[in-house]
A and B are shown apart, each in its own frame.
Chain A
């Protein structure tokens, strides 16, 4: 069947068939992931995390990711936001030490709300960094990146095998759901309690399929001469054909070191100054002024 020429499939969705990102070695792209997910941890000030998110989106666009593919994360964003704010509302902590605010008849406490907002923005920055990575890297790129960092082959292989199994698992799960439906199980008509009970019913076929596959996979591995250590039959070092197809270029060094350097600077600045703290945030200050807080 003719498939989309634009994108290649991955477990999580698609990646663009062509992208400026691919000019960089997978390990460089892995470094980008590292920096985008770790940097926000040092930053409280929401404007800066928002700027990081904006940069990430800029990278989405530059990398050729189809923006419409990102729509599927909308629900996640809303759910997490609701969750965090509800927690902040219900469990504010020591009320005596907090600043109450009256809003639409409800008494909210400012500090937990502020914390929820700051944390939410930080979380979104980290999340979009990860989404950017998985939207521009296929499973093979992930593993090549890790192996370039000298992750031992068996670890990388087991990771790959897990990904592959996860993929098969998802397909099996979908088929099992259809099979349940074919036995008159109407999911829409079930109560929540019944739905939960249902999930235990899935375990029987899932285990059956998984057990049989495990048997078959281990036989297949044996048949291709795989030994647990990953050591080749001739002794010596295992050739890593795929990894060696990728070459680390000058631009990879430049970008990776630049990114890592930026991360180090951010870490230092956050520890030694208050540039990244909430107190330095004009946005927060503005909101506090609106609410009439000190």
Chain B
């Protein structure tokens, strides 16, 4: 059984605005997925539907066997899939950090001493020092509040976590910290991670699978390399691949695979291309004149 199964999901807001128009989607345990797409494409609505926070207008979302549209399943859902909102202020309900992290477990009916253990563990994993337990979250920095929100979600021990815009407004170091942390959760603790983001270099560096939404439908769904190899389609949802990918695609050099997604890969490709050239004496290469790279751009998704 897949962790998440979505069948023909549609969602309309109360005023009738359509947000999702018939989505079929599956997630297996242990994936690391990035949801991308333009403002208004339905990414956040989709993510919230996956977490069971929004009930489908038609269609079904099934999380680990549980239909999100059923009544009274919230506590069950929350143990399986957590959701971290973009703005920490929206999800901090208590006057001190400890109570905040303990809030979820309390609602789930977990008592001390087990609850205390869970709180300390979640805080440690999320990098929230115990010295902060008595502080009021409002006065802490945004990065810290975001981590407290993540700790609070982890405290419910979900198998899957959805994080809305983990790196927006963060500087390079903070972004790397959060993304490395999510990577550790994924790789070492076996969590399934889904992030919603606008930042393509982050997607390139961390996600295994990329799902691009456009006007409420899935436009592309594949590995990171496959999806970034389709820039024309990505443009339809106002997304462009990372700069190194764009450069490789524009240069069209046969020695450089067109699906590079990091600086190192492009440098290596460039170096081998130059090395290959210096032993011959070809004329200047013009872009697009050469056939596609050996590794091949995106297969059908």
Question: Which residues of A approach B to under 8 Å, CB–CB?
Answer: 1-4, 9, 13-14, 172, 175-176, 178-186, 188-189, 201, 204-205, 208-209, 211-212
Contacts and interface: CB of A to CB of B under 8 A. Distances in A.
A1 B53 CA distance: 22
Given A182-B53, A182-B82, A205 B74 contact: no
B275 to A, nearest CB: 50
A181 B53 contact: yes
Given A183-B78, A208-B92, 15 more contacts: A182-B53, A182-B82, A183-B93, A184-B79, A184-B104, A184-B107, A184-B156, A186-B74, A188-B71, A188-B72, A201-B93, A204-B92, A204-B94, A205-B91, A205-B93
A183 B153 CA distance: 7
Given A208-B89, A212-B89, A185 B74 contact: yes
B138 interface: yes
Given A183-B78, A186-B72, A178 B92 contact: no
B281 interface: no
B267 to A, nearest CB: 41
B86 to A, nearest CB: 9
Nearest to A185: B107
Nearest to A175: B90
B122 to A, nearest CB: 13
Contacts, number: 84
Interface in B68-112: 71-72, 74-75, 78-79, 82-83, 85, 87, 89-95, 103-104, 107-108
A135 to B, nearest CB: 14
22 contacts: A1-B17, A1-B19, A1-B40, A2-B18, A9-B15, A14-B15, A172-B90, A175-B90, A176-B90, A176-B91, A178-B48, A179-B91, A182-B91, A182-B153, A183-B91, A186-B74, A201-B93, A204-B95, A205-B89, A205-B91, A205-B93, A209-B90
Question: By CB atoms of chain B within 10 A, which of A13, A14, A182, A211 has the most?
Answer: A182
Interface in B10-24: 15-19
A208 B87 CA distance: 11
A181 B51 CA distance: 10
B89 A184 contact: no
Nearest to A198: B93
Contacts of A186: 72, 74-75, 107
A209 B107 CA distance: 23
B152 interface: yes
Contacts of A209: 87, 89-90
B90 A181 contact: no
A201 B104 CA distance: 13
Contacts of B85: 175, 178-179, 182
Interface in B151-201: 152-153, 156
Given A3-B17, A201-B93, A204-B93, A182 B40 contact: no
A204 B92 CA distance: 7
B107 A183 contact: yes
A205 B107 contact: no
Contacts of B153: 182-183
Contact of B72 (A9, A13, A178, A189): A189
Given A1-B18, A1-B216, A3-B17, A184 B93 contact: no
Contacts of B18: 1-2
A180 B18 CA distance: 25
B117 to A, nearest CB: 18
